[in-house]
Amino acid sequence: MNPKVDFYFNKAKKWQKELEQLRTIALDCGLTEELKWGCPCYTFQKSNMVLIHVFKEYCAFLFFKGVLLNDAHGILVQQTENVQSARQARFTNVGEIADLKATLKAYIYEAIEVEKAGLEVDFKKTEEFTVAKEFQYKLDRIPALKAAFEALTPGRQKGYLLYFSQAKQSKTREARVEKYIPQILDGKGLDD
């Protein structure tokens, strides 16, 4: 147990028993406990394996390379359609976790084997993402914007492309593009 992570478990009100069970399972598998993104993260030889996080309706184990796991028990969920690699095992009570303890450990051990084998997720390439027509219009007319966008890391590019294209109305897409042009020109990502 990492004392730096204790606060996360101590502050939890709704999911206290569930979080303690998940923590015990991860630690029983020999993983190292760290605090990343404000959540307990469990690593194997410095590679992220599983993260514990909470939501209103459930708490979850998030397997970073969950898409590569066999999921023989069908318990892993894709959080949103844009999540390519991670998969969650969701829980609404401590009994569910107790019932799946052996399965969760097996999934963690499988995740470790995936890491040892050097398997990687085949992520969608930036050019496979939809470019909102409002953003394409600006890219075609502002060479500096196009150059700045192309200089961003693929992850930052994808973040913008998803954010711009998710808006249903053209007016909203235009407003989003206008708002973030200065940030793109500064070489920053959506959340920088």
pLDDT in tens, 66-124: 999 999 999 999 987 778 889 999 999 999 999 999 999 999 999 999 999 998 888 77
CA separation, residue 72 to residues 55, 75, 107, 110 (Å)? 25, 8, 9, 11
**pLDDT value at residue 82:** 76
Q: Are residues 34 and 92 in the same domain?
A: yes
The pTM of the full predicted model, rounded to 2 decimals, is 0.74
Q: Are residues 112 and 131 in the same domain?
A: no
Q: Are residues 136 and 106 in the same domain?
A: no
Count of domains forming the chain: 2
Q: Are residues 51 and 107 in the same domain?
A: yes
What 3-state class would DSSP assign to 31? Answer: coil
Mean pLDDT over the full length of the chain: 93
Q: Are residues 20 and 106 in the same domain?
A: yes
Q: Are residues 99 and 21 in the same domain?
A: yes
Average pLDDT value for residue range 132-141: 96
CA separation, residue 139 to residues 130, 150, 171, 191 (Å)? 14, 10, 17, 20
Q: Are residues 27 and 53 in the same domain?
A: yes
Q: Which domain holds residue 99?
A: 3-116
- pLDDT tens, position by position, 25-55: 999 999 999 999 899 999 999 999 999 999 9
> What letters, b where the CB count within 10 A reaches 16 and e where it falls short, cover 1-28?
eeeebeebbeebeebeebbebbbebbee
Q: Are residues 44 and 138 in the same domain?
A: no
Give the whole-angstrom CA distance, residue 140 versus residue 158.
Answer: 18
